Amino acid sequence: MKNKVAPSLLSANFANLELEIRRCEEGGADLLHFDVMDGHFVPNITVGPLLVEPIAKITKLPIDCHLMINEPDKFIESFARAGANMISVHVEAVPHLHRTLSFIKSFNIQAGIALNPITPLDYAFDAAEYCDFILLMSVNPGFGGQSFINSFHKRARTLRKFLDDNNLSNVEIEVDGGVKLDNVREIADSGANILVSGSGLFKGDLIQNIKAMRKILD
């Protein structure tokens, strides 16, 4: 399964967002990650579908929308129609996961679930057959620039083994939080293949940082 570098636009310079996206493209990013926060599910507010729409018009990179919000079902259609190619919802915020995942897929886009660092993996085991990808948080959601939580490695290895043992090897594992050049190889070796990184890429030379991460992962 290909390792994918996913710059998190939460760490981008929003005053020059198109330039930042061009740099992501030049560096060789595989997709763009949007952290969507509502100030309720997590203690921060970020972007919505009004920002996704113009970005989808200027890039061919897939747009991955991570909905860290309460009642995400109310907003899935807006993000899908704005141009999202992937949408994940938090199991902690969704009472009817099967229905929500089916709703996402009805727009012919990829559907995923997200789990906070100590949310039981049983949720992922039960929902995996309905997912295109599963996002394991490696920080507590809400803010960028946090330190990586090392228990991720055991969780990712456990999930990867479950997927492989149950004919679900096509389900990708995404990691979000604290991913940097000095730990990305170990993270990928634990089973994650979609590597979301914010400050780890945007701090310094974005193009060179993406290329460096790509080289480590290849």
Domains of the chain: 4-217 (3.20.20.70)
pLDDT higher than threshold 80 for residue 146: no
pLDDT higher than threshold 80 for residue 144: no
pLDDT digits (tens, 9 = 90+) for 11-41: 999 999 999 999 999 999 999 999 999 888 8
Q: Which residues contact 111 (CB under 8 A, 6 or more apart)?
A: 86, 87, 88, 101, 102, 104, 105, 130, 131, 132
Identify the H or E element spanning 91: none
* Per-residue confidence (pLDDT) for residue 42, from 0 to 100: 84
pLDDT digits (tens, 9 = 90+) for 165-189: 999 999 999 999 999 999 999 999 9
In this prediction, residue 143 has a pLDDT band, given cuts at 50, 70 and 90, of low
* Per-residue confidence (pLDDT) for residue 47, from 0 to 100: 83
The residue ranges of DSSP E strands in 38-179, in sequence order, are: 63-68, 86-90, 110-115, 133-137, 172-176
pLDDT higher than threshold 80 for residue 145: no
What is the arrangement of strands in the sheet containing 172-176, beginning at the earlier edge strand? 4-7, 194-197, 172-176, 133-137, 110-115, 86-90, 63-68, 32-37
**If you ran DSSP here, which 8-state letter would residue 147 be given?**
P
State the chain's mean pLDDT as an integer. Answer: 95
Helix (H, G, I), strand (E, B) or coil at 47: coil
* Active site positions, annotated: 35, 176
Tell me if 204 sits within 8 A of 15, measured CB to CB: no
Distance CA 55, CA 21 (A): 9
